[in-house]
Chain A
Amino acid sequence: MMATIPLAMLQENCEAVIVEVRGGMGLTRRLAEIGFTNGTRVKVLHSAPPGPMLVMVRGSRIALGKGVAMKIMVNPVEGI
């Protein structure tokens, strides 16, 4: 098991499982509604640090600003 890291640190084409969303009530809820809930698998489709990243979550492509991506904590999935 790799260590928990912010989604923002995940490399392009890597997958991970969300373990925690740290943020205010409003942000956490919004993210949950579009599919970023604990245990969900996400894949980084595109990453352009320090800019936003594009992730695939539950079949849709969501652009996340870096600030948001730093608040989503994930466990990278090995072997991909």
Chain B
Amino acid sequence: MEKIRVALIGNPNVGKSQVFNNLTGGRAHVGNWPGKTVEKKEGVCVHKGVEMQIIDLPGTYSLTARSIDELVARDFIVEEKPDIVIDIVDTSNLERNLYLTFQLLELEANIIIALNKQDVAKSLGYEIDAKELSKLLGVPVISTIATEKIGMEELKDAVIEAAKVKEKRREHTISYGKPYDEIILKIASILQKDKELSNKYPVRWLAIKILESDEEVLKLVSKSPVYEEMKLQLSEAKKILEEDVDTALAEKRYSIISEVILPKVFKGTRPLTLTDLLDKALLSKYLGIPIFLALWWALFRFTFDVSAPFQDLTHMLFSKLGEIANSHISDPQLASFVADGIFGGLGAVLTFLFPIFFLFLGLALLEDSGYLARAAFVMDRIMYKLGLHGRSFIPMLIGFGCNVPAIMATRTIDREEDRILTILVNPLMSCSARLPIYLLIASTVLGPYAAAGVYSMYILGIVLAILMALLFRRTIPYFKGKPSPLILELPLYAVPTMKSTLVHMWERGSLFLKKAGTIIFLGVIVVWLLSSYPWEAVHQGDTVVLENSYIATLGRFLEPIFRPLGFNWMAVVALFFGFIAKEIVVGTFATFFGLEESSEDLPTALRSSGTFTPLTGLAFMAFSLIYIPCIATIGVIYRETGSWKWTIFTVMYELTLAYVVAFIIVTFGRLIGFT
């Protein structure tokens, strides 16, 4: 048998990616859907000698093609016609999940239902009769618990079985009652006459979508020779139908689910759950925000404290490697390149591997436990007042990990104006790449206040993001008006499994490793080259005169601009190269002090160089937080907004803001007596 193409679909939070990982062994090829910025995940599964290509479709509640995610999922099923569509259904939330199933049935896709999260349903005190559900819907239904890999073999068997009968398309119809059924039939029979159309698409589905005034489908049909005839029929129908047909049809679908299907398959009761009890506290008007802040603080302490010993170890490893390189390579230029450039510069960046991984681990825990959506709830009132969409809060929290996925996560915000506004302020969320800078500078000059200093940067980022959103909302005509209000599902709380949390952490954390191996590596090489040459001028006998290097020339050229902030040329150059990737700021300092043969560790070397006072150090941290996003973020801003105008705007306002804020810190600090 040839390769079977299997698409995975489901609502958000149904455990879709776990099913994907179970089927493919976690090995995914990640790319983009053609012409879209939506991530496309593909993997391979071999079962009983049959190869299956597994395609992960975006999580979606419906297939109305309103957001990019929905459109991608729908187009794939309609146009690419996968052999099998596995519809992953959350058993603990059957009613809402079956809505998507109904739409898939109408698309006449070859469906297998995976009734996932059986364990959750059971713990809530009820069961779903899979056999009965299968009989009612006329499709195979497999019970699964993806977190424990239960039901996966049965699922694969079902795929092979269902692929054999793919020629036999089920004629499953959902009755919408009078007068809809009759009208749908009439329109469908007109469309049937256009062979080109009816061979490619299920006509009944087209007819329903036309009644729902689906723009994409209307565009498709407008090219058909039977368009005029269809339009005539449609305007006839519109006379007798209610105004919003689509809402009426949604109502019909739900009433079939709740009145016909659920009573037959649902066994048990719905008691008050632990989720409701937890929500009483976590969503509380008075406790909600303090709990959120406390959790956040705990996350950061965890990140820093647990990773500190590991960080020391990595540091020791790289300095040892540097010494070995220095003593074993005879050519001084090559030795310096390996010891100062690679082990010094890149090594300094890599020592932050552990803090970054722990940060992602903490974020994964918050996300997988279901708390992240609660944070959006708790903050909604404030966010709304400040002109941001309540949903914006989730991309903002993801921004603490990395702004690139965070900006991509804004896609769940449906109104374009709200989405772009969220994108514009997202780089102010302090990503993990800034963390090394804070940790370095704070431990250099802030002494016992280091942790508080680092935490304050995160707060500063949030405050600035909110202020800027407010400012843009008030001053830029495009953003005028109120944000569209919050509609967000809060998933049940779940105890995250060790494995899924680790996978989650690795998925994000490994991007840092990849970045270190590519762009940061290149950046560090450039920094080493510019600071080591001209060789003779820099290396006078045994002493290194950094002031004679190309990089110092560049630094001194830029220095006057930054003099009011109290940054010397070294700091300026570090910032200059930091726009490639902010970790390079640290790499740059490390290269400098490595070249000068400083035997001290980086914070001590930086402290004794007198580059920063506590005040200018703090200003430098703030500047690093705010100024130009890194290249990758600029790229994703362009892709997601589709506009150079907004991209350049973001870069410009952030540069200006960084300068202003750093200036305020320095000036105000001096006024109250700091140096």
Seen from chain A, the residues whose Cβ lies within 8 Å of a Cβ on chain B are 21, 25-35, 37-40, 45-46, 48, 50-52, 54, 58-68
Complex interface: chain B residues within 8 A of A66 (CB): 384, 485
Q: B414 touching A37 by the CB < 8 A rule?
A: no
Contact of A61 among B61, B64, B384, B490 (CB under 8 A): B490
> Beyond the given A37-B254, A65-B486, could you list 17 further A-B residue pairs with CB under 8 A, ordered by the A residue number?
A26-B66, A29-B246, A30-B414, A30-B487, A32-B250, A33-B99, A34-B96, A35-B96, A45-B279, A58-B96, A60-B93, A61-B490, A61-B491, A63-B380, A64-B486, A67-B484, A68-B487
The reply to whether B376 and A35 form a contact with Cβ atoms under 8 Å apart is: no
Chain B positions 452 through 492: 1 when the CB is less than 8 Å from some CB of chain A, otherwise 0: 00000000000000000000000000000010111111111
In the complex the two chains form, is B279's CB within 8 Å of A54's CB? yes
Is the Cβ of B485 less than 8 Å from the Cβ of A67? Answer: yes
* Size category of the binding interface on chain B: 35 or more
CB pair A52–B414 under 8 Å, yes or no, is: no
A31 to B251: give the CA distance in the assembly, Å: 11
Q: Does B255 make an interface contact (CB < 8 A)?
A: yes
Is A59 touching B270 in the complex (CB atoms < 8 A)?
Answer: yes
Residues of A within 8 A of B491 (CB): 61
Q: Which residues of B contact A34 (CB under 8 A)?
A: 61, 96, 487, 489
Nearest chain B residue, comparing its CB with the CB of A12: B280
Central interface residue in B255, B380, B390, by most chain A CB within 10 Å: B380
Task: Find chain B residues with CB under 8 A from A29 CB.
Answer: 64, 66, 244, 246-247, 250
Specify which chain A residues have a CB less than 8 angstroms from the CB of B62 in the assembled complex.
Answer: 33
Q: Are A65 and B279 in contact (CB under 8 A)?
A: no
Cα(A60)–Cα(B384), bound, Å: 23
Tell me which residues across on chain B come within 8 A of A58, comparing CB atoms: 95-96, 254, 258
Please tell me if the beta carbons of B486 and A52 are within 8 angstroms of each other in the complex.
yes
Task: Give chain B residues whose Cβ lies under 8 Å from the Cβ of A31.
Answer: 487
Q: Is B386 an interface residue (CB 8 A)?
A: no
Complex CA distance for A36 and B20, rounded to whole angstroms: 31
Collect the chain A residues with CB atoms within 8 Å of residue B390's CB.
52, 63, 65
Report the Cα distance A27→B484, complex, angstroms.
Answer: 9
Contact of B275 with A by CB under 8 A: yes
Is the pair A35, B485 in contact by a Cβ cutoff of 8 Å? no
CB of A68 within 8 A of CB of B486, answer: yes
Cα A29 to Cα B62 with chains together (Å): 11
Output the least CB separation between A41 and chain B (Å): 10
Instruction: Report Cα–Cα, A32/B66, bound state, in Å.
Output: 14
Q: Chain B residues near A37 (CB, 8 Å)?
A: 247, 250-251, 254-255
Separation of A48 and B92 alpha carbons in the complex (Å): 26
- Pairwise interchain contact B251-A38, C-beta atoms closer than 8 A: yes
Quick one: CB contact mask for B374-389 with A, threshold 8 Å, 1 for yes?
0011001100100000
Q: Which residues of A contact B492 (CB under 8 A)?
A: 61
- Of the candidates A30, A46, A63, the one whose C-beta lies within 8 Å of that of B376 is A63
**Given A32-B246, A34-B487, A67 and B377 contact (CB-CB distance below 8 Å):** no
Instruction: Name A63's contact: one of B93, B254, B285, B487 (CB within 8 Å).
Output: B487
Q: How far is the CA of A29 from the CA of B99 in the complex (A)?
A: 13
CA distance A48 to B61 in the complex (A): 26
Min CB distance A67 to B, Å, is 4
Q: B96 contacts which chain A residues (CB < 8 A)?
A: 34-35, 58-60
CB distance from B106 to the nearest CB of A (A): 14
Q: Which residue of A lies closest to B124 (CB)?
A: A59
Determine how close the nearest CB of chain B comes to the CB of A49; give it in whole angstroms. Answer: 9
Would you give the shortest CB distance from B378 to chain A, in whole angstroms? 8
| Contacting residues, chain B, for A28 (C-beta < 8 A) | 244, 247
CA A67 – CA B481 in complex, angstroms? 13
- Please determine whether A63 and B488 come into contact, CB atoms closer than 8 angstroms: yes
> What are 9 residue pairs bridging A and B, where the CB atoms are less than 8 Å apart in the complex?
A25-B244, A29-B250, A32-B250, A33-B62, A45-B276, A59-B93, A61-B279, A63-B380, A65-B487
Q: In the complex, what distance in Å separates the CA atom of A54 from the CA atom of B390? A: 13
**Chain A: minimal CB distance from B488 (Å):** 4
- Give the 5 A-B CB pairs with smallest separation, nearest first: A65-B485, A51-B381, A65-B486, A67-B485, A32-B250
B28 at interface (Cβ–Cβ under 8 A)? no
Q: Given contacts A33-B62, A54-B377, are A62 and B487 in contact (CB under 8 A)?
A: yes
Complex Cα distance A54/B486, Å? 11
A-side contacts of B251, CB under 8 Å: 32, 37-39
Taking a contact as CB atoms closer than 8 A, the residue among B92, B258, B279 that contacts A46 in the complex is B279
Kindly list chain A residues whose C-beta atoms are within 8 Å of the C-beta of B486. Answer: 52, 63-65, 68
Residue B218 interfacial (CB < 8 Å): no
Distance between Cα atoms of A19 and B482 in the complex (Å): 26
Q: What's the least CB distance linking A64 to chain B, in Å?
A: 6
Q: A23 to nearest B CB, angstroms?
A: 10
